[in-house]
């Protein structure tokens, strides 16, 4: 049945019967339905449509054999509403292929399209088990494949088509091979097998459906084609703004993420349906950047930090990011959009140097700078990222030399370590760091200017505060193990007398000399101190900690102090220090060691 331009209830059988292309427009998101949506759809079909149908077709009390005709008759009596699909017919489309833009309903139509293809695949695997299987396979293949000449681009064979990184996995699932297409090279660069949401859905649904026999799969596939009803809503290109309608309808379903909204807004001035240049920019700049940074969540975090540079405060999460950019760029020009997209793509490598400095592909070319970035990353003080990103950007542009960059980053590391050890508030960081570089970049002594700003904002930590914190604060926290290891490793390096450092990757377990949980022998050893209210805090202070291997940590367990310290190896300077201690290992003994180690820390994290 040809699809007309009137609002009407339709089935997916009607939508997919003829050669047709449902194209996901550029401003749409990639396929994003998740497990809860897939489960709900499949459960609805099995629970609300199929029970009566199966009863009356497979288990017919009259003894009639299952037939496709009987199945179709039953399905027509069991309709299930499945939402609306809003479309806009593309003008001057291929005469051999009627084409529609899917303005709303992308997730529904894509999911059903893939389910039909999946049923065909599983039926092919079960072809010998049912006389109706091959017939149904031929029917289903007619609904999922356009039987037309591809004319240099096999993607035209797809009936549901997206250029947001989904077309290659969709084609692979349906045709089982790569398409011949000029778009294939870029699609292969963007596609990560098993990570794309098309793949994730396919694997989920395959496990769900392969357990059913051929007859049930035939019934299921026919049900989604004939019983699921959608409201077909065609738009008028002369009257309707499809992007505005899409954004208005979106919040009623799965809300667009900040990144999806930002993408739509940034590319709107660049869209050119003749040259399609926006698609290549989107693939080369936007999608590659998302892949490079590790995913959409990380991409949003990156853009928040990038856009926060020179702002009064850190830009908020989620839609606050989109709202901030849109309010700042209410009349977004083509040039501004292009420059912003380039800026985002051009600074990804710098961001990765900050958040993944230990990865071989992300290391800064200057080894000393990279070493400092590794230490800063281990503090988990992410509020400083806009400042660091601004520093690295200026260094790359030769507006900051290496010496100044190192001096500033070292001062930042001292600030972050000192304040974290002292457990001081970080509430000021979101307003302090974004615009900080602009306040010191033109000063002759940039490290001194940095310290002046710290004093001005009352963020300074004195030597006495830092030393006291080591003695009285709990350094060890289960959620901050990387920071604890950083402190212990740097102090251990300071204490190594011959300059030859151990392999800290093999001695990275934080050992409590006095165990976190005291047994009877330790309680007897401590006497009244075993019930001291301050003991828990003291046990987690630096004086009671050292670094050993995981195996040594398990071996030492809750051994008494004398036995435990004698079992420690000489690899770590911290354990060598413990082996030389003769005092009772009680609150005062731990405090004395904390004071000794604090003296070392003052030399390492020095203003």
Q: How many domains does the chain fold into?
A: 3
The span from the CA of 155 to the CA of 344, in Å, is 30
pTM of the prediction?
0.76
Largest CA distance in the chain: 96
Model pLDDT for residues 28-46, shown as the tens digit of each residue: 778 889 999 999 999 888 8
Assess if residue 156 is contained within a domain: yes
Share of the chain above pLDDT 70, in %: 90
pLDDT at 66 > cutoff 70: no
- Give the pLDDT score at 570: 86
Q: Picking from 109-113, 289-293, 418-422, 563-567, which range would have the lowest pLDDT averaged per residue?
A: 563-567
Q: How confident is the model at residue 527 (pLDDT cuts 50, 70, 90)?
A: very high
Model pLDDT for residues 294-336, shown as the tens digit of each residue: 988 999 999 999 999 999 999 999 989 999 999 999 889 999 9
> Are 353 and 396 within 8 A, CB to CB?
no
- Give the pLDDT score at 162: 87
Whether residue 513 sits in one domain with residue 451: no
Whether residue 480 sits in one domain with residue 421: no
Whether residue 327 sits in one domain with residue 202: no
Whether residue 183 sits in one domain with residue 50: yes
The span from the CA of 33 to the CA of 23, in Å, is 17
Among residues 238, 253, 268, the one where a domain terminates is 253
Q: How confident is the model at residue 61 (pLDDT cuts 50, 70, 90)?
A: very low
Among residues 442, 464, 486, the one where a domain terminates is 464
Average pLDDT over every residue of 341-353? 97
Assess if residue 469 is contained within a domain: no
Whether residue 526 sits in one domain with residue 412: no
Strands 228-234, 509-512: pairing is unpaired
Q: How confident is the model at residue 340 (pLDDT cuts 50, 70, 90)?
A: very high
Whether residue 510 sits in one domain with residue 453: no
pLDDT at 247 > cutoff 70: no
Whether residue 400 sits in one domain with residue 309: yes
Whether residue 480 sits in one domain with residue 459: no
pLDDT at 1 > cutoff 70: no
- Give the pLDDT score at 240: 63
The angle formed by the CA atoms of residues 495, 489 and 516, to the nearest 5 degrees, is 105
Pick 515 or 148 by higher pLDDT.
Answer: 515
> Are 513 and 546 within 8 A, CB to CB?
yes
Q: What average pLDDT is seen over the chain?
A: 88
For residue 73, what are the CA distances in angstroms to 56, 70, 577? 10, 5, 85
Whether residue 491 sits in one domain with residue 437: no
Assess if residue 264 is contained within a domain: no
Whether residue 355 sits in one domain with residue 217: no
The angle formed by the CA atoms of residues 12, 18 and 21, to the nearest 5 degrees, is 80
Assess if residue 266 is contained within a domain: no
Among residues 435, 464, 493, the one where a domain terminates is 464
Whether residue 163 sits in one domain with residue 31: yes
Whether residue 281 sits in one domain with residue 174: no
3-state helix, strand, coil in the chain (%, to 5): 60, 10, 35
Assess if residue 122 is contained within a domain: yes
Q: Picking from 207-216, 428-437, 494-503, 540-549, which range would have the lowest pLDDT averaged per residue?
A: 494-503
Assess if residue 479 is contained within a domain: yes
The span from the CA of 88 to the CA of 219, in Å, is 32
- Give the pLDDT score at 63: 45
Pick 164 or 179 by higher pLDDT.
Answer: 179
Strands 98-104, 80-89: pairing is antiparallel
Model pLDDT for residues 446-492, shown as the tens digit of each residue: 989 999 999 999 999 999 999 999 999 999 999 999 999 999 999 99
Average pLDDT over every residue of 58-87? 65
Of 11, 34, 1, 61, give the one whose Cα is nearest residue 221. Answer: 11
The values of phi and psi at residue 229, to 5°, are -105, 130
Assess if residue 268 is contained within a domain: no
Model pLDDT for residues 563-605, shown as the tens digit of each residue: 888 888 888 999 999 988 888 999 999 999 999 999 999 999 9
Assess if residue 436 is contained within a domain: yes
Q: Which residue's entry shows tokens 């306040």?
A: 439
Owning domain of residue 30? 8-253
């Amino acid at each position: 049945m040809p699809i007309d331009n009137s609002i009407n209830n339709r089935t997916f059988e009607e939508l997919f019967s003829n050669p047709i292309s449902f194209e996901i427009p550029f401003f749409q998101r990639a396929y994003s339905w998740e497990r809860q949506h897939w489960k709900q759809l499949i459960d609805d079909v099995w629970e609300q449509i199929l029970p009566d149908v199966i009863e009356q077709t497979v288990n017919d009390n009259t003894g009639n054999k299952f037939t496709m005709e009987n199945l179709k008759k039953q399905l027509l009596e069991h309709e299930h509403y499945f939402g609306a699909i809003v479309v806009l017919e593309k003008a001057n489309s291929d005469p051999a292929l009627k084409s529609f833009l899917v303005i709303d309903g992308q997730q529904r139509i894509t999911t059903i399209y893939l389910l039909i293809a999946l049923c065909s695949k599983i039926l092919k695997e079960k072809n010998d088990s049912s006389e109706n299987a091959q017939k149904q396979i031929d029917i289903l293949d007619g609904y999922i494949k356009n039987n037309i000449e591809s004319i240099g681009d096999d993607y035209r064979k797809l009936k549901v088509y997206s250029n947001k990184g989904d077309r290659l996995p969709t084609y692979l699932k349906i045709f089982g091979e790569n398409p011949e297409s000029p778009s294939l090279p870029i699609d292969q660069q963007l596609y990560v097998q098993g990570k794309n949401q098309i793949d994730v859905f396919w694997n989920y649904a395959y496990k769900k459906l392969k357990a059913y026999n051929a007859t049930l799969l035939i019934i299921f596939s026919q049900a989604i084609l004939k019983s699921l009803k959608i409201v077909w809503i065609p738009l008028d290109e002369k009257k309707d703004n499809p992007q505005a309608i899409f954004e208005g309808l979106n919040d009623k379903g799965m809300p667009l993420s900040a990144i999806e909204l930002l993408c739509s807004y940034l590319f709107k001035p660049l869209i050119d349906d003749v040259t399609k240049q926006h698609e290549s920019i989107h693939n080369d700049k936007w999608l590659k950047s998302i892949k490079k940074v590790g995913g959409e969540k990380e991409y949003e975090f990156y853009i928040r930090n990038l856009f926060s540079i020179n702002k009064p405060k850190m830009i908020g999460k989620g839609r606050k990011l989109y709202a901030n950019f849109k309010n700042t760029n209410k009349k977004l020009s083509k040039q501004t959009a292009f420059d912003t997209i380039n800026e985002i793509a051009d600074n990804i490598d710098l961001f990765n140097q900050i958040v993944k400095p230990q990865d071989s592909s992300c290391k800064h070319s200057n080894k000393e700078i990279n070493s400092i970035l590794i230490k800063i990353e281990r503090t988990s003080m992410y509020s400083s990222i806009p400042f660091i990103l601004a520093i690295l950007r200026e260094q790359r542009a030769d507006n900051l030399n290496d010496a100044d960059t190192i001096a500033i980053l070292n001062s930042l590391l001292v600030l972050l370590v000192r304040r974290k050890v002292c457990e001081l508030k970080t509430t000021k960081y979101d307003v302090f760091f974004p615009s900080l570089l602009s306040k010191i970049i033109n000063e002759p002594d940039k490290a001194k200017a940095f310290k002046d700003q710290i004093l001005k904002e009352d963020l300074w930590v004195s030597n006495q505060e830092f030393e006291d914190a080591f003695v009285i604060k709990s350094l060890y926290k289960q959620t901050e193990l990387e920071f604890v290891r950083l402190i212990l490793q740097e102090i251990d390096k300071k204490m190594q007398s011959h300059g030859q450092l151990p392999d800290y990757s093999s001695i990275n377990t934080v050992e409590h000399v006095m165990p976190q949980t005291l047994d009877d022998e330790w309680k007897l050893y401590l006497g009244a101190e075993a019930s001291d209210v301050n003991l828990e805090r003291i046990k987690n202070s630096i004086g009671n900690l050292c670094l050993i291997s995981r195996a040594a940590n398990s071996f030492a367990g809750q051994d008494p102090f004398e036995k435990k310290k004698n079992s420690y190896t000489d690899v770590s300077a911290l354990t060598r220090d413990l082996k030389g201690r003769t005092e009772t290992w009680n609150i005062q003994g731990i405090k004395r060691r904390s004071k000794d180690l604090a003296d070392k820390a003052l030399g390492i994290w020095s203003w």
